[in-house]
Amino acid sequence: MTDGEFNLSYFDATSVGGVYNDAGKETTRTAATKLCAAMRDKGIEIFTIGFKLDKTNAASTLQNCASPDTGSVKHFYQAADGAELDSAFQTIARNIETLALTK
């Protein structure tokens, strides 16, 4: 779970923006995007919720991280207050109740 505001120590990153910074290190947004893609490539279904997001990039990163919507199952939510956040979690819980874990 994340608020979309990235922790700069993650992936030894030193900035939030673009792909790589001047030191050649990966930025947190790039690292998050790659991590999400790797999870989806392994078949992991990803739900994301943006809560009171101030930054446009944070919302787009979370939306791009989420698995693609399928039929009636939505994977990215934005919540502006506690009631919307609760509603998003309730909806996700109902959706994952139908999933089966396999090995």
* DSSP track, the chain: ---S---TTGGG---SSSSB-TTSPBPHHHHHHHHHHHHHHTT----EEEES---HHHHHHHHHHSPPPBTTB--EEEESSHHHHHHHHHHHHHHHTT-----
Task: Please give the model's pTM, rounded to 2 decimal places.
Answer: 0.74
pLDDT in tens, 56-89: 778 888 899 999 998 889 999 999 999 999 999 9
Q: What is the structure's pLDDT at 38?
A: 93
